[in-house]
Amino acid sequence: MQKALRVLITPDSFKGSATNQEVADAIALGWKKVRTQDEINCFPMADGGEGTLETFAMRFPRAQRIKIEVNFHEKQKRIATWLLLDDGTAIIELAEACGLTHMKVLDPLKASTFAFGQVLKSAAENAQVKKIIACIGGSASTDGGVGALIALGARFLSASGDSIQLGGVGLKEIHTVDFSEMIKPPQLGSTCLADVNNFLLGDNGAAKTYGPQKGATAKDIEILEAGLKRLMEVSKKNDFPGAGAAGGTSFGLNFGWGTSLNSGAKVIAELMGLREEINKSDIVITGEGKYDLQSAQGKVVGLIQELSAEYKKRTLLCVGSSDVDFPSNHLSGVVLEDLAGSKEAAMSDSLQWLVKAGELLAQQV
């Protein structure tokens, strides 16, 4: 009889086709068809982008869900949620408050982080909150986080003394800034989580790199770049790696609220106890929608590979598609695109192919 193994299944989401929980459950189902005796631990992971809030909610079922009404976009209102953990940590997700997926029509110039700032304000004013973890992936805006700062009480004024327009289009109007009436962060401060190292400005910056996926034309990008440049001039701060995350939100929050910036995957792994779970396991399975050379740069899969190697645990990959050849890079795993015959086929019935991948992974042991 085969020895029973402890198998940790800890994927990121497959964006556009399956959540991290769905991915983990489907792989587990397939694995169990082949190796019924193994003990499986499904442990979905995230990197600070869309879905991070729900990942924390699954890991910490006792966390309080706090709902507030926010002014989302162009007078639209919606209900946003943040989590309060038992230790006083508030988990806030920008994508949940005002992310790209909530936009009925993309509006690259006028979309803002104001609703995100309203959620930050709600947490900062809560007496139980000791620190804020702000997950900032999946944004729809390129406003340098100014909308969030305005929601927190900051005033960004034009040369005529009027408040600037919300959105990236208003940044070029900034003449003076007044932080005197801002809500203060909680006693242990606030941290932004992101998985990118882009600068605020330049070819690798927020507007030029991510503007197009938010609907920005070439002309829009010029306007957004000029606005972010004006924000930097007014702030008297230097650009830094990661400043361009979420349309410059990490830069703005650092400028106005003293918010630090950290790797999403690393902080989330620490808060959720991933290291301990890996240490207890015999085999670790991880994956994401697309595996490429950037996967090792602060993303979930790269971090899990690193931790698994540290504890000398065998790692298997399950990915939607891959730009990296597994055998020549000493990687073991399954690529759904290869299984299904095409990317379209893999995405159209991803759960079916994830179950099949689980079977194939179990056969590699």
Three-state secondary structure of 23-42: HHHHHHHHHHHHCCCCEEEE
CATH fit for domain 52-265, picks 3.90.1510.10, 2.60.40.10, 3.40.50.9100, 3.60.20.10 = 3.90.1510.10
* Domain limits, CATH 3.90.1510.10, in the chain: 52-265
Residues of the chain with CATH 3.40.50.10350: 6-44+273-363
What are the pLDDT tens digits along the chain (365 aa)? 678 999 999 999 998 889 999 999 999 999 999 999 999 999 999 988 888 999 999 999 999 999 999 999 888 999 999 999 999 999 999 999 999 989 999 999 999 999 999 999 999 999 999 999 999 999 999 999 999 999 999 999 999 999 999 999 999 999 999 999 999 999 999 999 988 889 999 999 999 999 999 999 999 999 999 999 999 999 999 999 999 999 999 999 999 999 999 988 999 999 999 999 999 999 999 999 999 877 876 689 999 999 999 999 999 999 999 998 998 888 999 999 999 999 999 999 999 999 999 999 999 99
Total-model pTM:
0.91
Radius of gyration of the chain (CA): 21
CATH number of 6-44+273-363: 3.40.50.10350
Q: Helices in the chain by DSSP H: which ranges?
A: 20-34, 52-59, 94-98, 114-124, 146-151, 206-210, 218-235, 245-257, 264-272, 274-279, 300-310, 336-340, 343-348, 350-363
Do 341 and 15 meet the contact criterion of CB atoms below 8 Å apart?
A: no
